Amino acid sequence: MANGKPTLHHLEDSQSQLILWLLEELGIEYDLVIHKRVQNRSPVALKEVHPLGKSPTLVTPTGRVITERSAIALWLISEYDEGARFRLPAGGQNGIEDAAREDQLISLGGATIGPMLMIKLIFGLLVMQAPLLARPLLKAIRHALDRAFLDAELATLFAHLDAQLAGGEGEGDHEWFLGTAEPTRADFCLLWTIDWPMQWGWVDFDKYPRLKAFHARCTERPAWKRALEKGGGYNLKFWA
């Protein structure tokens, strides 16, 4: 852009909140365009920025358009994290392994857990929006799907994520997924994976105390609170 600042196209009550948080953590100047939902969907105006019409969408100072929160986080940290606060430690024998583990964790959240949560959402919305006489049948189908597949799979996946925050022998639990002093791209991305089912009550996070503590740690940070104020709130149950 002409003013030399990146522009975040932010959709209210969406995963774009995670990128807004990262921008606040970086402490850089940026432009913010807030898009309101239209009948709970993304507005047409977002398609004028990118054909997919999704958020978050970032426009760089040179006019390049980047979508997907992991890619946006990678670009922002690479471009603006001059003090290397949010980067993986450079060099060392674990450099490549840590980078691969970070991508693995991000993929686990987005490509494995995300679709299961979407199925939860779709069936929940079907029950809420169905005609009264059809609701008992749809509730039964949803319950059967949860019992036969989703709940057990999600329990395994969240137990695995919880274990990723455990320290080694004689160590306390890690604050961040890569054991760093500050959050990295994995943390900025995985908060969505935890926040979504937590707000809907799909997962009992008392069973995963490290993840529960991680969530509290993220949402207590001043940058997160500034992002909430600038983004106008963050309610993932707007369909309910």
Torsion 197-189-29-181 (CA) sign? positive
Instruction: Give how far Cα 114 sits from Cα of 160, 189, 215, 236, Å.
Output: 15, 12, 17, 14
Tell me if residue 12 falls in helix, strand or coil.
Answer: coil
Does the structure show a pLDDT above 60 at 77? yes
Q: 164-171 long-range contacts, Cβ below 8 Å, gap at least 24?
A: 164/105, 165/210, 165/211, 165/213, 165/214, 166/210
Does the structure show a pLDDT above 90 at 170? no
pLDDT tens string 189-203? 999 999 999 999 999
C-alpha span between 172 and 185 (Å, rounded): 22
**Contact status, residue 24 vs residue 225, Cβ threshold 8 Å:** no
Q: Would you tell me the crossing angle of helices 185-200 and 151-163 to the nearest 10 degrees?
A: 140
Phi-psi region of 92 (alpha: psi -120 to 50; beta: other; left: phi over 0): left
pLDDT of residue 96: 78
> Which domains, and CATH codes, for the chain?
95-221 (1.20.1050.10)
* Strand 31-35, strand 7-11: pairing: parallel
Does the structure show a pLDDT above 80 at 234? yes
**Contact status, residue 28 vs residue 20, Cβ threshold 8 Å:** no
pLDDT tens string 91-125? 655 677 889 999 999 999 999 999 999 999 999 98
Instruction: Give me 140's structure tokens.
Output: 């039964």
Mean pLDDT of the chain: 93
How large is the greatest C-alpha to C-alpha distance in the chain, in angstroms? 63
Written as one string, the DSSP assignment of 184-229 is -HHHHHHHHHHHHHHHHT-S-GGG-HHHHHHHHHHHTSHHHHHHHH
pTM of the full predicted structure?
A: 0.93
C-alpha span between 225 and 20 (Å, rounded): 10
pLDDT of residue 213: 98
